[in-house]
C-alpha cells in the first residue's frame, strides 16, 4: 500500500513536470505501462490513472489557452438560438368570394447569435447577429427562391455602463430596456436605438422600486428635424411572500416631430395625410401589471407550478385613442427541460392611432393598429434547452384600412426552438 502511495506521489510530480515542460502524452503512457510490467500497478489502476492524467492535461491546456487570450476575450460569453417554423395564415373577408380570401403556408427559420464581453468592472459591450431583412419586427427568413443565401444582419450592439449596482446607462441599438408583461406596444424583436438608463432600489426585503427611461431615434432627416420618442417608466416590485409577487409600472411616452412623420416599416394602419405623414403625434400613458403565484393549487394537492395574470393599457392623449391587453400564463415559469410546459393566453384590442404602428407584434395582423383578437400559445420541453411551441392567433380588423375587404386573419405557427 505504501509503495502504491509513493508511486502515486511520483506520478503527480511527473504530471506537474509534464505540464511545465509540455511533454507528450505518449511519454506518460509509456511510464504507466512500465509500472504495470513491474506489477507496481495493476491494469485497472493503470486505466484509471491514464484517464485522470488525460483529464488533468485537458484542463491545463484549456487554462493555458485561456490565459493566452486578451482579457476581453477571456470574459466573453456567447449564446444563441435556432427556430424552425411552419406557418399557416388565412385572411378572410365578409363573404366567401375567392378574391376575398387569401391562404399561405410557409417554412421559416430564425437564427440568432449574441455575445457579451467586459471592458472593465463597470462597463460591458453586448452585440448580436440575426437572420432577417430590414423589418425591425421580424428576424424570420422564409425558405424560398431555390436555396438562395439568407441575410444575417446586426440585431443589436450597445454599451452598458454600470457605475453602481443600482444604476446602468445604455447606448446604441439595444435590447428593450422597458418592462412589458405582454406585447401590446412592443414586438419582442424590436431593439430600440438611442440611449437609456435603468435605475433600481430596495425599500425593504419585500418591496423594490425601479425607473427605466430612454430616448429613441426614429429617423434621420438631412433637411428637417429628426423624429424621436422618449419613455419614462417608474415601477414597483412587491414580493408578498415566497410564493406570491407582483410587478406594477406606469409608462409615459412622448415624442418630437412624430406628427407629420413618414416612417419606414409602418403597417399603414394609422391615420395619415398622404405625403405629410402621421396625422397625430405621441403623448401616451400606459399602466401595466402582473401578479405571479407559485404552486397556486398546492392546498388541493394539484401540482401546478406557476400561474400569472397580467394586463396592459395605453391611451394616446394626442389622438384620444386607447388599447389594452389582458391574459394569463400557467404551467412552469420557464420551459428549459424535458416535460416542462407552459400555456399562455392573450386578448388584445388596439385602436387606430393609439400607438405608432411600427412597434406592435407583427404576428397580430401584420402589426397593425385598429385590431382586436385572441392568441393562445403552448410550449412543451422536448429536452434540455429545446422545445415545441404551438401558437394560434385570431385577429379582426376593427376599422377600415386599405385592405378593407379582409376582416379576419387566422395565423398558426408550429415551432421547434433550440437554445445554446
Cα Rg of the chain, angstroms: 28
Q: How many helices (H) and strands (E) does the chain have?
A: 4, 17
Read off the C-alpha cell for 267. 403597417
Sorted by sequence, the CB contacts under 8 Å of residue 294 that are 6+ apart come out as 242, 243, 244, 305, 306, 333
- DSSP class of residue 365 equals G
pLDDT at 235: 98
pLDDT at 285: 98
Closest CA to 235 of 286, 282, 196, 308: 286
Strand-pairing partners, residue 389, are 379, 415
pLDDT tens sequence across 160-172: 999 999 999 999 9
Sorted by sequence, the CB contacts under 8 Å of residue 10 that are 6+ apart come out as none
Q: Which residue has the cell 432600489?
A: 201
CATH number belonging to the domain at 74-419, selected among 2.40.110.10, 2.40.160.10, 3.20.20.140, 3.40.50.300: 2.40.160.10
Angle between helical axes of 2-21 and 25-37 (0-180°, round to 10) = 160
CA distances for 178 relative to 157, 185, 186, 191, 244, angstroms? 17, 11, 9, 11, 23
pLDDT at 21: 46
Q: What is the DSSP string of 299-341?
A: GGT----EEEEEEEEEEETTTTEEEEEEEEEEE-SS--STT-E
Q: HSE (CB half, 13 Å, CA atoms) of 49?
A: 26
Rounded CA separation 179/329 (Å)? 17
SS3 category, 358: coil
pLDDT tens for each residue of the chain, 420 residues long: 444 444 454 455 445 444 444 445 567 777 777 777 777 778 787 788 778 777 777 777 767 666 666 776 777 899 999 999 999 999 876 444 445 678 999 999 999 999 999 999 999 999 999 999 999 999 999 999 999 999 999 999 999 999 999 999 999 999 999 999 999 999 999 999 999 999 999 999 999 999 999 999 999 987 778 999 999 999 999 999 999 999 999 999 999 999 988 888 988 899 987 666 899 999 999 999 999 999 999 988 899 999 999 999 999 999 999 999 999 999 999 999 999 999 999 999 999 999 999 999 999 999 999 999 999 999 999 999 999 999 999 999 887 555 555 589 999 999 999 999
Sorted by sequence, the CB contacts under 8 Å of residue 174 that are 6+ apart come out as 126, 156, 158, 191, 192, 193, 194, 196
- Hey, what's the torsion of the CAs at 266, 269, 270, 276, to 10 degrees? 60
User: What is the reported pTM?
Assistant: 0.81
Neighbouring C-beta atoms of residue 42, cutoff 10 Å: 11
Strand-pairing partners, residue 286, are 251
Rounded CA separation 266/349 (Å)? 18
Domain residue ranges in the chain: 2-68, 74-419
Rounded CA separation 388/72 (Å)? 36
Give yes or no for a contact between 344 and 377, defined as CB atoms under 8 angstroms apart: yes
Amino acid at each position: 500500500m505504501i509503495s502504491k502511495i509513493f508511486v502515486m506521489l511520483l506520478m503527480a510530480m511527473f504530471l506537474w513536470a509534464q505540464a511545465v515542460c509540455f511533454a507528450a502524452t505518449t511519454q506518460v503512457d509509456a511510464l504507466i505501462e512500465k509500472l504495470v510490467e513491474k506489477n507496481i500497478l495493476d491494469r485497472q489502476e493503470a486505466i484509471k490513472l491514464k484517464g485522470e492524467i488525460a483529464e488533468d492535461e485537458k484542463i491545463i491546456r484549456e487554462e493555458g489557452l485561456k490565459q493566452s487570450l486578451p482579457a476581453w476575450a477571456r470574459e466573453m460569453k456567447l449564446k444563441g438560438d435556432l427556430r424552425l417554423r411552419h406557418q399557416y395564415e388565412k385572411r378572410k373577408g365578409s363573404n366567401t368570394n375567392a378574391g376575398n380570401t387569401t391562404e399561405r403556408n410557409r417554412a421559416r427559420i430564425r437564427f440568432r447569435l449574441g455575445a457579451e464581453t467586459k471592458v472593465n468592472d463597470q462597463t460591458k459591450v453586448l452585440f448580436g447577429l440575426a437572420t432577417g431583412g430590414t423589418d425591425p419586427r421580424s428576424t424570420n427568413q422564409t425558405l424560398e427562391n431555390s436555396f438562395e443565401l439568407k441575410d444575417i444582419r446586426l440585431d443589436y450592439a450597445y454599451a452598458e455602463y454600470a457605475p453602481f449596482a443600482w444604476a446602468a446607462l445604455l447606448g446604441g441599438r439595444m435590447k428593450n430596456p422597458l418592462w412589458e408583461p405582454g406585447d401590446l406596444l412592443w414586438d419582442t424583436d424590436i431593439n430600440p436605438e438611442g440611449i437609456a438608463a435603468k435605475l433600481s432600489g430596495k425599500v425593504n426585503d419585500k418591496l423594490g422600486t425601479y425607473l427605466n427611461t430612454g430616448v429613441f431615434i426614429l429617423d434621420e432627416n438631412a433637411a428637417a428635424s429628426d423624429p424621436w420618442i422618449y419613455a419614462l417608466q417608474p415601477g414597483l416590485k412587491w414580493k408578498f411572500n415566497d410564493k406570491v409577487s407582483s410587478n406594477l409600472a406606469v409608462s409615459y411616452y412622448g415624442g418630437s416631430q412624430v406628427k407629420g412623420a413618414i416612417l419606414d416599416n409602418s403597417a399603414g394602419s394609422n391615420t395619415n395625410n398622404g405625403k405629410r405623414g402621421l396625422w397625430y403625434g405621441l403623448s401616451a400613458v400606459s399602466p401595466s401589471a402582473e401578479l405571479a403565484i407559485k404552486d397556486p393549487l398546492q392546498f388541493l394537492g394539484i401540482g401546478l407550478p406557476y400561474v400569472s395574470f397580467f394586463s396592459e393599457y395605453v391611451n394616446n392623449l394626442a389622438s384620444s385613442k386607447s388599447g389594452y391587453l389582458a391574459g394569463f400564463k400557467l404551467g412552469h415559469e420557464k420551459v428549459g427541460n424535458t416535460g416542462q410546459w407552459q400555456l399562455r393566453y392573450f386578448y388584445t384590442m388596439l385602436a387606430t392611432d393609439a400607438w405608432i404602428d411600427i412597434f406592435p407584434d407583427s404576428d397580430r395582423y401584420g402589426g397593425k393598429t385598429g385590431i382586436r383578437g385572441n392568441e393562445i400559445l403552448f410550449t412543451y420541453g422536448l429536452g434540455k434547452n429545446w422545445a415545441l411551441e404551438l401558437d394560434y392567433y385570431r385577429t379582426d380588423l376593427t376599422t377600415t384600412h386599405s385592405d378593407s375587404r379582409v376582416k379576419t386573419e387566422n395565423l398558426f405557427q408550429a415551432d421547434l426552438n433550440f437554445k445554446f
